[in-house]
Amino acid sequence: QQQVKQSPQSLIVQKGGISIINCAYENTAFDYFPWYQQFPGKGPALLIAIRPDVSEKKEGRFTISFNKSAKQFSLHIMDSQPGDSATYFCAAMGGSTLGRLYFGRGTQLTVWP
Amino acid sequence: GAGVSQSPSNKVTEKGKDVELRCDPISGHTALYWYRQSLGQGLEFLIYFQGNSAPDKSGLPSDRFSAERTGGSVSTLTIQRTQQEDSAVYLCASSLGQGYQETQYFGPGTRLLVL
């Protein structure tokens, strides 16, 4: 079964707007939550990651919000730009499976100029 | 510095043939992973090598899939008797240490099409 559920599947945002992608997980042993960005024809690249001891992490225009009790986390992209158009994957890691990442199904973001 | 490289970039094969996909991790990285990316399915874990430890093969979908890592560096993923449902992008990643809570650096992938 899907260990990490991601929504929406696709997202269209105007330039300058806020993009929000949500993920949920069930396994309480997960303790590392990265977001990956993938451009067409390329492999995914780490964008930002959070551990559950904090509720928010910000790097430039990208922010992860983490709600441990709800087992949810989200990516917010502020002032979205056309160059942000890509597929975004949330992921989770932890417990007995060590380095294995469990990925969501991805969100295809399109930012219109 | 050089990132993770994979070869071939694209592979077209006929159903029933065997294929080998190669991954060269970042120099010095001890952990290596294979994932499969199918359309609309996200990334599916296949196998994980960490140093000299026994690999975690729990994600391999069938016994037609196998992987090895020689000399703690290059890895080869082999798919025997390929089926059309094996068509996907196969991604390799590496990380510096044990892999736990570490950044995984992905290669560009091998796009496999089974006719």
pLDDT at B1: 56
Count the alpha carbons within 13 Å of A33 in the hemisphere toward its beta carbon: 35
List pLDDT tens digits, range B17-75: 999 999 999 999 999 999 999 987 789 999 999 888 889 999 999 999 999 998 879 99
**What is the distance between the alpha carbons of residues B37 and A82, in angstroms, rounded to a whole number?**
25
Contact flag B4-A99 (C-beta cutoff 8 Å): no
**Please, which residues have CB within 8 angstroms of residue B65's CB and are 6 or more apart in sequence?**
B46, B77, B78, B79, B80
- Flag whether residue A58 sits within 8 Å of chain B, measured between CB atoms: no
**What does the alpha-carbon distance between residue B20 and residue B7 come to, in Å, rounded to a whole number?**
9
- Residues comprising chain B, all counted: 115
Shortest Cα–Cα distance, A27 to chain B (Å): 16
CA-to-CA dists, residue A8 to A15, A56, B46, B83, B85, angstroms = 18, 21, 25, 31, 26
